Structure 1
């Protein structure tokens, strides 16, 4: 109990220090939110920011070991149609180098009460083992706005979780959907949808995390449209425009298609980010041909998994995939035949190292499935960050749940990849709002879970 109390007290102290620091640094009057780090590669890094009104923004950046040589991104003029957001590209970087960056608004430097640094991906192939790196993940982040919220107790709480994530210093953060919660007042207008993104993104407790690690995202129903939205949602293209404006993914949709689908590689791990909303058939349509991903996306993920040479193939998707409980919006409930066909494809092709990463359910758990060829498929579900908790999750029968991994409180996940090139392993852990480890499991190079 003493260690838990000390951990909580430490997190509280850090939060107080940060709050005091923010008082000492008066925010630039034109800065609304950010800066945020988007995608990171060996030769490019995306930097994002939002202003309160039209302004010219750019970033200065320099190698920490060579501060005399400084570079500037191209300037961008923010504009109202895209909620005064801007994306700037740092394209004078080199692999595996640490950089400091400085935001300018209308040629004035913006002082911030926390470090603004990034590190490019290393060039490791043919030179060394792949690096150790950590990915944070979470879903279901509700930020209260009382005048638009339902009456009663606030649905969002424990915003200190974002500082707890930042303290872990992950290289990446994967946002697994419901990253904002569109309200009834937001659904049917561009003004409402962009307002909701702006309100959530400008949360003070979030700013340090935005600046500290590289963020990638998918959406689920609440940052796409109303609850349980599908491909018939009339404003899905407006939601897509807002998603693009506020996130720094490398791409948005497959070539020639819309949506949030994308792919990137960090070190030796492939990440596949799927869209489970834009092409989905209605949940309650009894005569519709059932699909969650749509044919083009389903064909793509099959081919991409088969082509991947990565020891781990992380597949991020809004809703649960392996959970056998046929309820709510689990794949087993919505479209079991499509789920089974993808699992059968993974088995036929002998694909190993598949790890689904999901959110949505307001509880967290690890699921494991061993196919007929003896290969394991895993799913780590992490939810919620700040929204309400599913206190009834223990009553759901998930035959693939790993014993001792069900969590029904605010939490986030960490995935730590390590080991020599041919013996990589990944340590999965769930942490509380205070940064306490709730459980930890390790997937060994063999695909088996390590004995506890």
Structure 2
């Protein structure tokens, strides 16, 4: 799959800035096309129950991706029993469609709460070290990889092509995430912490991310977060529950001068595009949420998101991004069964 270029996987992270053009958004149900061939194609998704049929594996393979990125909740385990967790990962690995994808496409990614082992779990999960090793086994991570000895599954993958390079920055929003503030007054589950209270990434991961962003030379820097970063009013898990962490990330994007930052997120059982302008960055920051693969929020009837662009999709789908290094364009698509395009956003960087 990667015979046209060399893929280099490093431990590190990066993010970026460049030229802004108003994005073109179209919501449609046409069939995705694969020509002209993109310089690099990334497919991603989240919220995948290992004991439910996933009709999208063949569609994902047909888009000819250069990499598949798990966005979290890759299985639904919710257990602190490592034998049970291992068996559920094995069940997912036995899925024929997923086996076909793995045989042809590199697989990378992060976890979220249900494969981490505890619903809405964070730093206090007492089996997180053991769970990390099971996750790394599932991801076929080598025994000498730094993730085998570090705390947390964060890492960087850099893909160099003759046309340009992409750095995929995989975050861990579970291992270090401190307590949430529960909402005791409304029907929402959580409310934002007091400003400055708590962390999502933790000190070590923040230091790593800072160095990776400041030293990035990639044309595009893809930030993988299992939970949404921009949408912040729905009452579920989001970086918005730690507003100072959002501000810190945006400042880092500005200061790093990294190019072409795009956020990938999942968790929500809906798909949507969110976008914000950041002073000091000459393109909008897009948070592309793709969720879920086997089940969705079918009773969705609306929720606030001040950053939303276009419509919410609550049909089973995966995310696809086609990159053109010459034009600095990212073509982002929400793809459903039979390659139907249900949402699309084009952005030039």
TM-score by length of 2: 0.80
| Corresponding position of 1:235 | 127
Q: Aligned to 1:403, what secondary structure does the other structure show? A: strand
1:302 match: 210
**Counterpart in 2 of 1:425?**
329
Cα distance in 1 between the residues matched to 2:68 and 2:229: 21
Q: Tell which structure's C-alpha radius of gyration is larger.
A: 1
Contact 2:313 2:343 in 1 (8 A): no
TM-aligned CA distance change 1:44 to 1:429, over 3 Å = closer
- Could you tell me which residue of structure 2 aligns to residue 271 of structure 1? 168
CA distance in 2, matches of 1:347, 1:327: 28
- Which of 112, 133, 137 matches 1:220? 112
> Aligned residue for 1:162?
57
| Distance in structure 1 (CA, Å) of the matches to 2:5 and 2:150 | 24
Q: Distance in 2 between matches of 1:243 and 1:255?
A: 10
* Alignment equivalent of 1:192, drawn from 84, 91, 94: 84
Q: Which residue of 2 aligns with 1:408?
A: 314
Taking the aligned partners of 2:199 and 2:331, their CA distance within structure 1 comes to 32
Structure 1: runs of 5 or more not aligned: 1-36, 46-130, 145-155, 448-452
Q: CA offsets per residue over residues 261-313 of structure 1, 9 Å max, x none?
A: 11011120111000000111122487994111101111221221122122211
Secondary structure at the aligned position of 1:244 is classed as helix
Counterpart among 26, 29, 42 of residue 6 in structure 2: 42
CA shift for structure 1 position 441? 1.8
Alignment of 1:322-401 (within 5 A): 322-325=230-233, 327-332=235-240, 334-373=241-280, 374-389=282-297, 391-392=299-300, 395-401=302-308
Partner of residue 6, structure 1: none
Contact 1:252 1:260 in 2 (8 A): no
Contact 2:213 2:256 in 1 (8 A): no
CA deviation map 1:231-263 (0-9, x unaligned)? 111111121111111103578666962221110
Distance of 1:240 and 1:137 partners within structure 2: 21
**How many Å separate the matches in 1 of 2:332 and 2:7?**
29
Change (3 A) 1:306 1:246: same
Separation in 2, partners of 1:205, 1:311: 32
Q: CA contact under 8 A between 2:6 and 2:159: conserved in structure 1?
A: no
1:327 CA drift (Å) = 1.4
| Structure 2 Cα separation of the partners of residues 240 and 255 of structure 1 | 8
Unaligned runs of 5+ in 2: 10-37, 183-192
Give 1:438's match in structure 2, choosing from 339, 342, 346: 342
Distance 1:217-1:419 versus aligned 2 partners, 3 A rule: closer
Residue pairs, 1:175-190, within 5 angstroms: 175-183=70-78, 187-190=79-82
C-alpha displacement of 1:410: 0.4
Equivalences for residues 80-99 of structure 1 within 5 A: none
Aligned residues: 303
What's the CA shift for 1:339? 1.1
After superposition, the Cα gap between the structure-2 partners of 1:317 and 1:295, relative to the gap in structure 1 and judged at 3 Å, is: same
Q: Is the 8 A contact 1:252 1:258 kept in 2?
A: no
Q: Distance in 1 between matches of 2:128 and 2:96?
A: 28
Q: Report the counterpart of residue 46 of structure 2 in structure 1.
A: 139
> CA–CA distance in 2 between the matches of 1:283 and 1:352?
32
Return the offset for 1:390.
5.3
Give the C-alpha shift of residue 139 in structure 1: 0.4
On the 8 A contact 1:276/1:317 being kept in 2, the answer is yes
